[in-house]
Structure 1
């Protein structure tokens, strides 16, 4: 008997197809057949090699992150090529271009290409079936070879080949199956959001979160599906070719009787459904459906795959363990953040002294302050706290919702502002995002939104840890949120039905309270060391302002002397050894003037806190159809950041017309912004028809599905802000022309007494209620120091805000005072003439929806919510409208020349530069193109760190 078996084994070496006895029972035969064609344990060497490659790449990435590889010549070379991103536009028809599609950056494409090449090589290079008698990594044995040692009983039972097989249908199919199994944990690691399960996000590794890995997750999943499809196809060919000798029927006929074969087809079907349900179109239009499919199909696919081939199910259990473990960890953290373990207070709050007990510091005391030294950029009115730092809620919130509830307010541009206080204490880094759930809108589904605020752990008020979201209404959940809030306001409700805010809750004067749950924070921006850059440039567009605002607040507070350790970042602020930042440039591209309503209070406070040249703010409006062409003058390079602006800015007053010529000469704005290149598509937009050019400009500020229609009253607000901004700029130029010496004054000592006298009062100003602030302003105007505050206008310092029966909003503002800053007038005090706004609440759009209280009567192609009785501009608090007026001076029409702005900042810098970017695909491509053009590896090689520019962007999709 042994002679017969040995003879059969030697004969089988002549063929790569193993043979089995002619069993009469169908199940017995197909089981022996499939087991005989099962890959040997040693054939799994390719899975081990795959993970050795992944581990090496991961280790190299960690070393580059630890050693700050991007800070040298090679890093600059890599960044110059790696950050570039292309955008493609596919035409819907002959006259209408489609929405631009952004390709991943060159660096991401290289990562995917590397992974794909490694996977394909490990799937097909070298022999497929490795003999069980050789070492796992023994590469000397190849081809068909007989076994030299005695046979073991188990191999006779399994009928597996005892030799190496180079290529065959079933061996190639088995090998691709091994690689597909090995890729499962990697795909899961790319999708995990919460450390410690998210290994890539750990601080001591590469600290890259899901926002940067989501694209690799999707494509690695598609790669797994592709390799699995090859596995299924190759095995199907083998089963079709092999026939049972006794019946002559193909092996496929009997394979369905084998349970593990059925598990394999179920797993493949589930994987196919999972991949196609994750398509971009479904994610965009039916996110809830996509999410539900993912939660159900992922564990089912992994379990069915494990049962399909138990020898390899370790890969499935590792992937499933990571997925389930991370979800359980996130669920525990979710319970803590949302107060299910009890409401916690903020950590180590530092309370400012009261006005009654606080003794203002003397000028000599300010000069002798040992740590940190006063920032030359910090306005004197923010220098009154004991340690010389700024302790104030940067958001300027006057109303804090109860913990666990979000205050929802309707803003211009069909935007909802959510202000949320978490019941459980949590901290986040500037630019990170949260997953939010509002049960009254959607009970189970969460959606990601970037926070527009920072976490001030030392703030004595809850406003310091308020999480602010700006949610622009599009389709789906965001539209449901807008309709829900508008309906509550129109019916006079201040909270959602069925929800009961805590006893004693003071309801907001505007907006409604909504029960809200958050999960997070998430985001790779946490790895950014803002303090290690000489200049921070913030480029944002549209609703990407959320990302830019939190970064702007953080850097401004650090410039003012606050330590980033208590603001969600790293230890360091002005005066510390490692804090290198000396300048911030903030550029925001918007579609309408009224969109500054979203965040005027935050921008205004940063402008008041940090004066020029520490902070420069520019806001550009693209919908203003300005077509004036003027010569461009290159701005002079200013090598001294502590010097005042060049006198070229002090121009004679111009006539009261619509001219914006003062901005065309600084070289940073293109008033004829339909000309030139668009995004990164390398085409001349000026050659396109005007209607198509407008679509190209629109894509710089609007994401896909963003609505460009105006809400009731918004056109009037746009016009008023435009006019008000021009008047304020004209007044500034007149003042500078009349008294240029004042703006070039650099003697700090001469005004130390003024700073000291107002320090204790002004440091507390952000905490006061509006009534107290008005009283304080009036007292200051009549104080003995009033002669130091010279008004620039004859407007009386009164403030009124009222709703007349004709829906007219009227407010007057106090006069402009000369700032104590030696650099630039501070907008902390309101400026300019009386500003009157009349809002027409009649709908500016057709409406066929009948009945009172109707909220939405819209089509899928045009979204303009019907709010006959709800106008967001009639529910704006008076202080916020004053902030809008103050910020209007920085708003101008045109498209910014980002490359010129960045070049100017590079020349002014004293070290490396970081660019924070968030906006639609075309805007992101435009910024990346400008950054890549300014990176200069040769400059970095010579020791000039201005050649190094890092970009920190948020442009991911869930």
Structure 2
């Protein structure tokens, strides 16, 4: 974007023809974003107050008119925003579509960009092309702070304001705002090229003027980031490569943009860079404070290989003076310097702070987890505790970054809590159950639906199940607790008690049910909502397909049963945790 006199045209906020000046257009953009965040903050506060009220009155239907109106509004909003149309789910392995709520927010955001671009901007002749180019350039610059706000870890103002702490949601909108940035920068480049009209003149301008060359370099770097390196296969299968490339490419992009843009537009760039640098500085300060002492690293992790060599169990004793504190359902990023230096991966904590240790169960895939498996098998000590399904274990120094994420509402404010998880997603499910059992609040029904492929997968969580059962023995008699384990590979289910673990399950059959086959999610949700006497909270951790099915079914039953118009069940709230990069 060259420093033409056009940038100084017009008086005040508008040009003589009534069109907004490009710089003021960027302020209009942030006025709309600020208004949206303000409205989200008000709803977040109201939802918090409503939750506190439900705790006080025992989850009975709200008595106050405003509370009933809010409950009705939120329930109707869930009916409209939770589902994903079935015709968009035909090829989940090839392409996955988000929920209507997310698609609606993305659509509104793109409408905002297009609306501001064309606002009082009739592009009917060549004299308007440079003005259009400048509009798109200012809109591009204005989006940079929002992109950073959606990516930061510790200074997540958007999480605080909206109450949404899900890293999956923030990353989703981070990518779509970045695509909006690519869209507006493409408009800027397109109308600049049209302004030059002649191809020969354009080539000559590129050869003689360094500003357009820097602009083209900025656009190429941005296109590389958005269109190539952030697509799901690369993020999913080569995260280390993606992360390193992303950091380098973003740094190169900011340098190119600073060189390309005039100084009077740099305020937005410096705000974005300031937010990012402050977040990184705060995060590393907390990492060093929590992990480093005079004797070295505070934490050491014991990594155990499960018998099938498809899962790892990680245990980190909280022996440091600076004890790590977390809430159930949160995750931390673990870095193992001797296995994968400079790389951190997110894992959900399955234990509670009072256990004085952090426990994780992770599925072995490619990259870091496969490297960890091979090294532990190579240097690990043999174990004889085959009942625990572990064959080898090794100890490594570990750096903990976090905790992050977690639900925005307390689980003990609901009448019914249902957790639906797949495989190692049980780390999230058992944390939710144990959290409710230590402080039941208004919860009357607590249910875990756990879907596993192999019967032996259950053995990995024996310690967790024992803790849950001990809590059940001392909890209130009016609390109903049920754990249903669905084993899809029925051939792995023993026909009789063949081990100590099988006997353990048989002794607690009133709480734990082993069910062959896969569950019908709709039937599970129907049964829970039919029995609920107040609001239901559903915690889910699994594939996108599972999460989509749960939200579709919840929206269907809320609408069909009229829960938002006066039935005993005051709606249903769904919180999902996924670590899909």
Whether 1:545 and 2:426 are equivalent positions in the alignment is yes
Q: CA deviation at 1:407?
A: 1.0
1:559-570 equivalences under 5 Å are 559=440
2:304 aligned counterpart, secondary structure: strand
Retained in 1: the 8 A contact 2:75–2:564?
no
Deviations 1:529-586 (A, max 9, x none): 2121111111111222121111111111213xxxxxxxxxxxxxxxxxxx21122011
Contact 1:539 1:588 in 2 (8 A): yes
- Which of 14, 26, 35 is 2:4 aligned to? 35
In proportion to residue count, which structure has more strand?
2
Deviation, 1:121, is 0.9
1:521 paired with 2:417, answer no
CA distance in 2, matches of 1:251, 1:509: 67
> 2 CA distance for matches of 1:301 and 1:451?
36
C-alpha separation between the residues in 2 aligned to 1:227 and 1:447? 33
2:58 — aligned with what?
none
Superposition pairs for residues 52-91 of structure 1, below 5 Å? Answer: 52-68=31-47, 72-85=71-84
> In the superposition, relative to structure 1, how do residues 342 and 114 fare at CA in structure 2: closer, same or farther (>3 Å)?
farther
Paired with 2:493 and 2:43, the residues of 1 have a C-alpha distance of: 51
Which residue of the partner structure matches residue 459 of structure 2? 597
Structure 2 counterpart of 1:201, from 139, 147, 159: 159
SS at 2:301 equivalent: strand
SS at match of 1:475: coil
SS in 1 for 2:230: coil
Give, in whole Å, the separation in 2 of the partners of 1:115 and 1:259.
33
Which residue does 2:279 correspond to in 1? 326
Offset, 1:52: 0.6
Residue in structure 2 matching 1:558, options 433, 439, 442: 439
1:126 is matched with which residue? 120
Partner of 2:4: helix, strand, or coil?
helix
Of stretches 116-125 and 934-943 in structure 1, the one that deviates more from structure 2 is 934-943
- Contact kept? 2:117, 2:136, Cα under 8 Å: yes
Please give the per-residue CA displacement for 1:779-834, whole angstroms capped at 9, x wherever unaligned: xxxxxxxxxxxxxxxxxxxxxxxxxxxxxxxxxxxxxxxxxxxxxxxxxxxxxxxx
Aligned pair 1:316/2:269, yes or no?
yes
Report the 3-state secondary structure (helix = DSSP H, G, I; strand = E; otherwise coil) of the residue aligned with 2:96.
Answer: strand
Aligned twin of 1:569: none
Q: Deviations over 1:66-116 (max 9, x none)?
A: 11289511211110121113575777xxxxxx7264321111111101000
Give the aligned partner of residue 116 of structure 1. 110
Tell me if structure 1 keeps the 8 A contact 2:434–2:471.
no
Q: 1:937 offset after TM fit, Å?
A: 8.6
Larger radius of gyration: 1
Aligned with residue 316 of structure 2, among 420, 424, 429: 420
User: 1:939·1:945 contact (CA, 8 Å) conserved in 2?
Assistant: no
Partners of 1:607 and 1:615 within 8 A in 2: no
Looking at structure 2, the residues matched to 77 and 167 of structure 1 have their Cα atoms a distance apart, in angstroms, of 48
Per-residue displacement from partner, 1:474-529 (whole Å, max 9, x unpaired)?
Answer: 12222111112122237x699xxxxxxxxxxxxx996221111111111141x212
Name the CA shift for 1:167/1:47 in 2 (closer, same or farther; >3 Å). Answer: farther
Give the 3 Å change call, closer, same or farther, for CA 36–241 of structure 1 in structure 2. farther
8 Å CA contact 1:549, 1:602 repeated in 2: yes
Give yes or no for the alignment of 1:221 onto 2:178: yes
Q: 1:292 aligns with which of 244, 254, 259?
A: 244
Report the equivalent of 2:375. Answer: 484
Higher helix share: 2
Contact 2:300 2:398 in 1 (8 A): yes
Alpha-carbon distance, 1:226 to partner: 1.8
8 Å CA contact 1:939, 1:947 repeated in 2 = no
- The alignment status of 1:257 with 2:208, answered yes or no, reads yes
Q: Deviations over 1:724-750 (max 9, x none)?
A: 3xxxxxxxxxxxxxxxxxxxxxxxxxx
Q: How far is the alpha carbon of 1:723 from its aligned partner?
A: 2.7
Give, in whole Å, the separation in 1 of the partners of 2:547 and 2:458: 21
Moved more, 295-304 or 325-334: 295-304
Structure 2 residue ranges without an equivalent (≥5) = 11-20, 48-66, 385-389
Alignment of 1:917-928 (within 5 A): 917-928=540-551
Distance change in 2, residues 1:928/1:723 (3 Å): farther
Paired position in structure 2 for 1:99: 93
**Counterpart of 2:490 in 1: which secondary structure?**
coil
The answer for the alignment partner of 2:496 in structure 1 is 723
Query: In structure 1, the residue corresponding to 2:361 is in which secondary structure?
Result: strand
**1:946 equivalent in alignment to 2:572:** no
2:317/2:357 contact within 8 Å kept = yes
Cα contact 1:73–1:938 (8 A) shared by 2 = no
TM-score by length of 1: 0.52
- 1:937 & 1:524 partners in 2: Cα distance? 30
Deviation at 1:261, TM superposition (A): 2.6
1:358-408 superposed Cα distances (whole Å, 9 cap, x missing partner) = xxxxxxxxxxxxxxxxxxxxxxxxxxxxxxxxxxxxxxxxxxxx9511111
1:381-530 alignment runs, 5 A limit? 403-413=298-308, 414-422=310-318, 423=320, 424-456=322-354, 464-489=355-380, 511-525=393-407, 527-530=408-411
- 2: CA distance between counterparts of 1:105 and 1:409? 38
Specify the alignment match of 1:935 in structure 2: 558
What is the correspondence of 1:238-387 to structure 2 with a 5 Å cutoff? 238-241=195-198, 250-275=201-226, 276-310=228-262, 311-340=264-293
Hey, what's the Cα distance between the residues in 2 that align with 1:234 and 1:524? 45
Give CA-to-partner distance per residue, 1:900-949, whole Å, 9 cap, x none: 22222223222111011111122222222221222259755554451310
* Equivalent residue runs for 1:226-237 within 5 Å: 226-237=183-194
SS of the aligned residue for 1:616 comes to strand
TM-score (norm 2): 0.84
Contact 2:532 2:568 in 1 (8 A): no
User: CA, structure 1 residues 58+329, in 2 after alignment: closer, same or farther (shift >3 Å)?
Assistant: same
Q: Return the alpha-carbon distance in structure 1 between the equivalents of residues 439 and 295 of structure 2.
A: 32
Residue 174 (structure 1) shift? 1.4
Aligned residue pairs, count:
534
Q: Shift in Å at residue 166 of structure 1?
A: 9.9
Preserved contact between residue 201 and residue 207 of structure 1 (Cα < 8 Å) = yes
Tell whether the 8 Å contact from 2:166 to 2:577 is kept in structure 1 after alignment.
Answer: no
The answer to whether the Cα contact below 8 Å between 2:448 and 2:482 also exists between their aligned partners in 1 is yes
Report the alpha carbon displacement of residue 617 of structure 1 after superposing the two structures with TM: 0.9
The structural deviation recorded for 1:883 is 5.0
Residues 1:894 and 2:514 aligned together: no
Distance 1:116 1:431, change over 3 A: same
- Contact in 2 for aligned 1:43/1:128 (Cα 8 Å): no
Q: CA deviation at 1:440?
A: 2.4
- The alpha-carbon distance between structure 1 residues 881 and 419, as it changes in their structure 2 partners (threshold 3 A), is farther
Change (3 A) 1:615 1:316: same
Question: CA 1:483–1:510 in 2, change beyond 3 Å: closer, same or farther?
Answer: closer
Q: Which residue of structure 2 lines up, in the alignment, with residue 25 of structure 1?
A: none
Distance in 2 (CA, whole Å) between partners of 1:885 and 1:448 is 35
Contact 2:305–2:392 (8 Å) recurs in 1:
no
